Amino acid sequence: MNGVHDLGGMHGFGPVIREPNEPVFHSEWEQRVFAMALTAMGRRVWNVDEFRRAIECMPPARYLAATYYEKWLHALESLLLEKGAVTPEELLSGHAAAPAPAKGTGPLDGGGGDVESFDSSAVKLRFDKSFKPRFKPGDRVVARNLNPKHHTRLPRYARGKRGVIRYDQGVFIFPDTHAHGQGAKPQHVYTVAFEAKELWGADHKERASVYLDCWDNYLERAAVMPAARPAIKSAGRARMAKPAAKVRAAAGRAKKGRKR
Amino acid sequence: MNGVHDLGGMHGFGPVIREPNEPVFHSEWEQRVFAMALTAMGRRVWNVDEFRRAIECMPPARYLAATYYEKWLHALESLLLEKGAVTPEELLSGHAAAPAPAKGTGPLDGGGGDVESFDSSAVKLRFDKSFKPRFKPGDRVVARNLNPKHHTRLPRYARGKRGVIRYDQGVFIFPDTHAHGQGAKPQHVYTVAFEAKELWGADHKERASVYLDCWDNYLERAAVMPAARPAIKSAGRARMAKPAAKVRAAAGRAKKGRKR
Amino acid sequence: MSEEHDHHNAPPSEPAQRVKALEQLLVEKGLVNSQALDELIDTYERRIGPRNGARVIARAWTDPEYRKRLFENAAKAIEELGFPPGPQGEHMMVVENTPRTHNMVVCTLCSCYPWSVLGLPPVWYKSTAYRARAVSDPRGLLSEFGVDVGGKEIRVWDSSSEMRYLVMPERPAGSESLSEDELAELVTRDSMIGTGLPKSAARRARETNRAAK
Amino acid sequence: MSEEHDHHNAPPSEPAQRVKALEQLLVEKGLVNSQALDELIDTYERRIGPRNGARVIARAWTDPEYRKRLFENAAKAIEELGFPPGPQGEHMMVVENTPRTHNMVVCTLCSCYPWSVLGLPPVWYKSTAYRARAVSDPRGLLSEFGVDVGGKEIRVWDSSSEMRYLVMPERPAGSESLSEDELAELVTRDSMIGTGLPKSAARRARETNRAAK
């Protein structure tokens, strides 16, 4: 979804304003929204991808005007309705007309604090060797020009841009389908380095790069670079090689048997 | 400026809602705002590019929530302040503390209805043969990946995309500089045809193209197409050739001596 | 509430009040003249509107020489009919629907529109929804407007420059016997934006009959 | 006022009221338990916060074996210190600042943040301004934060996946004699996001003296 939530590279949002000695929450209702949303997610009434999708579906002007927990509240209410856990009348009255349907609601232990993992982050899946990576660190790739109406985690600023695979982070659930009840489609996620010049144009002077996590489905192998696009300098590659190798060693241990 | 005003290709804005028997204006204040803004522009207190820039500088959440004439009112007030024609105190009180400075305000004839041309649209300039076109109809181009903080008329959806020059529309003032008091930089504007697949990705099924007017500075000559990108079909070109030629004949008369 | 909220959303005072104060101020400054504003408003409320464009299209459907001049220099040919270019009408191009091509106009970056022939744009043309979707989902949008262009290629004209585009719809079948004035009645505003088709001759006949009763 | 306005901006009722009704409803439904919510809130207000991350960084600065384990499997090494992964902390990677590279973390699409080591994010991290600018103008943004990274290459980590990133700042010069606990006091939240640098040992000494007076 090309939504207003996709903010990377946008202008006009003013300076970043910081609050000295900021509290964790600014009001009681923020606390309650946070805890209710987390509990529902922990009990798998919905998954984290659905939650993000619900936030992104806020009307754009309201999304931009809302605070963080106003967005959570919107998602909480709209997902409870979507999942049939509550009715619009119940939301208004604050009273249950019927008990919640059993689907998707695990037992309540009352213990608090022990919210289960979000299911997108299943740890076992990440190191499952039956999912083969399509790319390896060092491979040159291009982010696909995707403009889906559905939820996606490929931001607009990266689409059509060339980068280099830095890390294979293992296997993760695919948000584009998982956010819509269309399956987990597990696949490798790679951290791809994009140079600032590639993202923002040849005039961009800053020595910077963006490291973006890309699901396998977001990427294609880069064709031979046309002359117009500057190749990533080998000096840059050499510089990055050391820390990459270091951290990769860890992944390597967990994922032994995979080919680089 | 990568602002929220750059809406082409965005999702989440809902259906297009039409009002049956819509009046030209919805309230008296809309009428006054329209007429005052037009008068100020006609008297060259500011130019149309500055006016658009002022609208785009609205805080993003307000831009999206505002109606058309609320945006005009914002621009009207902020440009009057910027040009020093009024002070913040005067705006609040509704009374002049001092007469307006002479700069940029031509004589008022009181005749109404005869607002002068906006200066961006100077008709003479358009057919000035001293500005040579860099491209000719049929040339393959790529829209540059520009992400300026300043005003621009190159929308994000076209950046980095390949298209074909269809028409040379003649010479126009360059909004990127003209919106900021940095000169007219006149140059050719070309209508460039971009295929839907090129803009929205290979999955895009629709048989459509977008015809976008691009200033010379927005374009580069396209390098040889890499294999991954489908070339524009020659059948498509043939289909477009007839009406293109027809209208081009007109431009040709006015711009005799130019090379195709 | 956090700064994120406060920073951008301080609500401005009511437009009607602000505008009243503003006009008073600008009159005192000698920047505007209230009577001249009245005349300008009257011009755009009564004299300039889609009937102008409809006359242009009807003339072009019936007069091959005019049609040729319209494609050669649209602003000049439009002026021939008594419609001066004015703002947002100086650089015009007429784009023609054919059995193979349907044209549709949008301005994704603001709301550019050919004022001299269509008047001021309707709210939907200026809406975020139209501006967002016209370039990426023209067929879906047309179908919401009740327009089916079949297998035609759609060309969406995004008015990013000072060029203004007027769509010349295809002359409806069955309209052979109609006069230029009658033809002008078939040409709707939306058919000249490309989000509609002209009325059929039969529909016009029904409407005329109904009005006569 | 037009539909453009009405369509998207029907103001929802006050959050505090809505939330009260919502909790009551969900308790009746058996979906939440108010006491469990209290405990969850207490956890994120008191037990989980940037002091967790500071302890991790201080340990890594002083214990080469721990440092190695942290780079090998960050979530596991963090758990060693008594900080369970929990939500938004299961897939961690520590990225190290060096004399040539400065790392900085953002989530442009929402506000992903490593809760287990930093707690819940501050409002500025979740703001549209930070999310918009971090990827395209990191140096300008750092300078607003009062951070000058000189000629270093900046790497901006955009947390688009379930991976969470923690920046390991460079250990400040002059901190050689400090204990692990004292080092942890140098490690600010912002230095672990990459929008700040650790306190200097001298500043810590001044602050300790002032507090003692």
Using a CB–CB cutoff of 8 Å, tell me whether C126 touches chain D: yes
**Above 60 in pLDDT, residue C134?**
yes
Query: In the listed set B113, B142, B161, which residue is the last one of a domain according to the structure?
Result: B113
User: Are B105 and B139 part of one and the same domain?
Assistant: no
CB contact under 8 A, A210 and D158: yes
- Active-site choice (C2, C13, C34, C107): C107
**Above 70 in pLDDT, residue B240?**
no
Q: List, as one string, the DSSP characters of D7-62.
A: HHH-PPPPHHHHHHHHHHHHHHTTS--HHHHHHHHHIIIIISSHHHHHHHHHHHHH
Residue D123 has its nearest CB partner, among C4, C127, C128, at C4
CA distance A72 to D125: 16
CB contact under 8 A, B9 and A3: no
User: Are B13 and B101 part of one and the same domain?
Assistant: yes
Average pLDDT taken over every residue of chain A = 83
| Rounded average pLDDT over C126-151 | 97
**Above 90 in pLDDT, residue A245?**
no
CB contact under 8 A, B167 and C93: yes
User: Are A163 and A97 part of one and the same domain?
Assistant: no
CB contact under 8 A, B208 and C153: yes
Element (H, E) at A65: helix A60-65
Residue A259 lies in a domain: no
Residue B258 lies in a domain: no
**Above 70 in pLDDT, residue A255?**
no
Contact B232, B141 (CB under 8 A): no
CA distance C147 to C140: 10
Residue A121 lies in a domain: no
User: Are B248 and B137 part of one and the same domain?
Assistant: yes
Using a CB–CB cutoff of 8 Å, tell me whether D96 touches chain A: yes
For residue B122, the model assigns a pLDDT of 66
CA distance B170 to B163: 19
For residue D204, the model assigns a pLDDT of 87
**Above 90 in pLDDT, residue A239?**
no
CA distance A69 to C115: 44
Chains near D with 3+ CB pairs less than 8 A apart are A, B, C
Q: Which residue of C has its CA nearest to B169?
A: C163
pLDDT tens digits along D37-55: 999 999 999 999 999 999 9
**Above 80 in pLDDT, residue A243?**
no
Please count the CA atoms within 13 angstroms of the CA of C172 that sit on its side-chain side. 22
pLDDT tens digits along A117-150: 455 446 789 999 999 999 999 999 999 999 999 9
- Active-site choice (C13, C34, C112, C116): C112
| Rounded average pLDDT over C177-182 | 96
Question: What's the token pair of residue C213?
Answer: 């009763």
CB contact under 8 A, C3 and D126: no
Exposure letters D71-87 (e unless 16+ CB within 10 A, then b): bbbbbebbbeeebebbb
pLDDT tens digits along D84-105: 888 888 999 999 999 999 999 9
Domain containing residue B167: CATH number: 2.30.30.50
Q: Which residue of D has its CA nearest to C125?
A: D4
Question: What's the token pair of residue B138?
Answer: 């049929």
Angle (CA) C18 C22 C27, round 5°:
155
Question: What's the token pair of residue C61?
Answer: 């459907």
For residue D4, the model assigns a pLDDT of 39
Q: Binning pLDDT at 50, 70 and 90, where does residue C185 land?
A: very high
Within 8 A of B146 by CB-CB distance, chain A residues are 201, 203
Which residue type does C63 have?
D
| Rounded average pLDDT over C128-156 | 97
For residue A166, the model assigns a pLDDT of 98
| Interaxial angle between packed helices A68-82 and D15-28, expressed in degrees from 0 to 180 and rounded to the nearest 10 | 40
C111 is catalytic: yes
Average pLDDT taken over every residue of chain C = 92
| Rounded average pLDDT over A45-50 | 94
User: Which residue of A19, A21, A24 is the best one to mutate when testing the D interface, meaning the one whose CB has the most D CBs within 10 A?
Assistant: A24
Give the phi and the psi of residue C148 in degrees, each rounded to 5: -115, 115
Q: Find where tokens 């396998």 sit.
A: A216
Angle (CA) A200 A203 A208, round 5°:
55
Within 8 A of A64 by CB-CB distance, chain B residues are 4, 60-61, 64
Surface-to-core class of residue C61, CB atoms within 10 Å of its CB (0-12 exposed, 13-18 middle, 19+ buried): buried
User: Are A177 and A105 part of one and the same domain?
Assistant: no
For residue C13, the model assigns a pLDDT of 62
Question: What's the token pair of residue D20?
Answer: 């009260």
- Paired with A193 in beta bridges are A164, A211
- Paired with D19 in beta bridges are none
Query: In the listed set B65, B83, B113, which residue is the last one of a domain according to the structure?
Result: B113
| Interaxial angle between packed helices C15-28 and B68-82, expressed in degrees from 0 to 180 and rounded to the nearest 10 | 40
**Above 70 in pLDDT, residue A17?**
yes
Q: What percent of chain A has pLDDT over 70?
A: 77
CB contact under 8 A, D29 and A108: no
For residue A224, the model assigns a pLDDT of 65
Query: For A209-218, C3-12, C29-38, C161-170, which range has the lowest pLDDT when averaged over its residues?
Result: C3-12
Residue B122 lies in a domain: no
- Paired with B210 in beta bridges are B194, C156
pTM of the complete model: 0.88
For residue B249, the model assigns a pLDDT of 41
Residue D139 has its nearest CB partner, among A15, A172, A208, at A208
Question: How many distinct structural domains can be found in chain A?
Answer: 2
Q: Binning pLDDT at 50, 70 and 90, where does residue A111 land?
A: very low
User: Are A104 and A133 part of one and the same domain?
Assistant: no
CB contact under 8 A, A213 and D159: yes
pLDDT tens digits along B67-85: 999 999 999 999 999 999 9
CB contact under 8 A, A113 and D43: yes
User: Are A234 and A140 part of one and the same domain?
Assistant: yes
CB contact under 8 A, B67 and C123: yes
User: Which residue of A145, A200, A225 is the best one to mutate when testing the B interface, meaning the one whose CB has the most B CBs within 10 A?
Assistant: A145
Q: Which residues contact C26 (CB under 8 A, 6 or more apart)?
A: B36, B80, B86, C32
CA distance A40 to A80: 9
CA distance D184 to D167: 14
Residue B177 lies in a domain: yes
Q: What percent of chain A has pLDDT over 90?
A: 71
Full set of structural domains in chain D with CATH = 14-212 (3.90.330.10)
Element (H, E) at C105: strand C101-106
User: Are A137 and A78 part of one and the same domain?
Assistant: no
| Rounded average pLDDT over D53-69 | 98
User: Which of the residues of D are catalytic?
Assistant: 107, 110-112
State the sign of the Cα–Cα–Cα–Cα dihedral B236, B241, B247, B250.
positive
For residue C61, the model assigns a pLDDT of 98
| Rounded average pLDDT over D130-159 | 97
**Above 90 in pLDDT, residue C38?**
yes
Q: List, as one string, the DSSP characters of D78-123.
A: HHHTT----TT-SSEEEEE--SSEEEEEE-SSS----HHHH-SPPH
For residue A203, the model assigns a pLDDT of 86
Residue A120 lies in a domain: no
Residue B121 lies in a domain: no
Q: Is D153 helix (H, G, I), strand (E, B) or coil?
A: strand
**Above 70 in pLDDT, residue A78?**
yes
CA distance B133 to B216: 8
User: Are B211 and B173 part of one and the same domain?
Assistant: yes
Average pLDDT taken over every residue of chain B = 83
Residue B259 lies in a domain: no
Question: What's the token pair of residue A73?
Answer: 């509240």
CA distance B117 to C182: 33
User: Are A139 and A100 part of one and the same domain?
Assistant: no
| Rounded average pLDDT over A171-191 | 96
Considering only residues 158 to 177 of chain B, which have any Cβ-Cβ distance to chain C shorter than 8 Å?
167, 169-170, 172
Using a CB–CB cutoff of 8 Å, tell me whether C132 touches chain D: no
Within 8 A of D14 by CB-CB distance, chain C residues are none
Within 8 A of B212 by CB-CB distance, chain C residues are 158, 160
Q: How many CB pairs under 8 A join A and B?
A: 89
User: Are A7 and A94 part of one and the same domain?
Assistant: yes
Question: What's the token pair of residue B62?
Answer: 């307000």
User: Are A28 and A81 part of one and the same domain?
Assistant: yes
C112 is catalytic: yes
Query: In the listed set B55, B88, B113, which residue is the last one of a domain according to the structure?
Result: B113
For residue B247, the model assigns a pLDDT of 40
More confident: C211 or A112: C211
Element (H, E) at D128: helix D128-133
pLDDT tens digits along B198-221: 999 998 988 999 999 999 999 999
More confident: B135 or D12: B135
| Rounded average pLDDT over A154-177 | 97
Using a CB–CB cutoff of 8 Å, tell me whether C10 touches chain A: no
**Above 50 in pLDDT, residue D115?**
yes
Domain containing residue A100: CATH number: 1.10.472.20
Residue B238, min C-alpha distance to chain D (Å) = 41
Q: Which residues contact B241 (CB under 8 A, 6 or more apart)?
A: none
Q: Binning pLDDT at 50, 70 and 90, where does residue C209 land?
A: confident
CB contact under 8 A, B8 and C127: no
CB contact under 8 A, A16 and D133: yes
For residue D209, the model assigns a pLDDT of 87
Query: Tell me, what DSSP letter sits at residue A119?
Result: G
For residue C211, the model assigns a pLDDT of 80
For residue B81, give its domain range: 1-113
